[in-house]
Chains A and B, each alone.
Chain A
Amino acid sequence: MADTRAEEAVSVPESAAIQVRDLVVNYGRKRAVDGLSMTVPRGSVYGFLGPNGAGKTSTIKTLMGFRKPNGGSAKVLGYDIVDESLEVRARVGFASEVNSLYEGMTVPRICRLCRDLSRSWDQDLVDRYIGVFSLPADGKIRKLSKGQKAQLQLCLALGSNPELLILDEPTSGLDPVARRAFLKVLVGEVAAEGRTVFFSTHLLSDIEAVADTVGIIKGGKLLVSGDLDDMRESHRVFRIAYAQTPPEDEIQNLRALDGVNEVEREGRGVRLRARGDVGRVERALGDRPHQIVDVDSTGMTLEYIFVAYVEDEDGR
Chain B
Amino acid sequence: MIRVAVWIDIDSRSGVPIYVQLVAQVRHAVEVGGLGPGEKLPTVRGLAEELAIAPNTIVKAYNELQREGLVESRRGVGTVIAEGVAEVAREGKRRAIFERLRLLVRDAAALGITEDDLWEGLDSEFERIPREKGEEG
Q: Report A's interface with B, CB cutoff 8 A.
A: 2-7, 9-10, 41, 43-45, 183-184, 187-189, 191-194, 208-213, 228-230, 232-233, 235-236, 243, 291-294, 298-302, 304
A187 contacts B54, C-beta separation under 8 Å:
yes
Q: Which of B1-22 contact A (CB under 8 A)?
A: 12-20
In the complex where A10-B63, A229-B20, A293-B110 touch, is A184 in contact with B79 (Cβ < 8 A)?
no
User: Which of B15, B44, B66 makes the CB contact (< 8 A) with A299?
Assistant: B15
Nearest CB on A from B1, distance (A): 11
Interfacial residues of chain B within 25-54, with CB under 8 A of chain A in the complex: 43-46, 48-54
Q: In the complex, what residues of B have CB within 8 A of residue A191's CB?
A: 48, 54-55
Q: Decide yes or no: A43 and B56 within 8 Å by CB, A3-B76, A189-B49 being known contacts.
A: yes
- What is the size category of the interface that chain B forms with chain A? 35 or more
Question: Cβ of B73: which chain A residues have Cβ within 8 Å of it?
Answer: 5-7
Indicate if the CB atoms of A6 and B50 lie closer than 8 Å.
no
For the residues of B in contact with A, the DSSP-based class is helix
Instruction: Tell me whether B13 and A5 are in contact (CB under 8 A).
Output: no
Contact A5-B75, Cβ < 8 Å, known A44-B56, A193-B45: yes
A212-B44 contact in complex given A5-B73, A189-B49, A292-B110, C-beta closer than 8 Å: no
Q: Is the CB of B49 within 8 A of A192?
A: yes
6 tightest Cβ-Cβ pairs between the two chains A and B: A299-B15, A229-B17, A212-B54, A3-B78, A192-B48, A4-B44
Closest to B47 in A: A192
Q: A191-B48, A243-B110, A299-B14 are in contact. List 20 more A-B contacts (CB 8 A).
A: A3-B78, A4-B59, A4-B78, A5-B75, A6-B66, A6-B73, A10-B63, A43-B55, A44-B54, A187-B52, A187-B54, A188-B48, A189-B49, A208-B13, A210-B53, A233-B17, A292-B110, A293-B111, A299-B16, A302-B13
With A and B bound together, what is the CA distance between A299 and B13 in angstroms?
Answer: 11
Chain A residue nearest in CB terms to B76: A3
List chain A residues, Cβ under 8 A from B50. 188
In angstroms, Cα B73 to Cα A3, docked, is 10
| Residue of A6, A9, A236, A304 contacting most chain B CB atoms (<10 Å) | A6
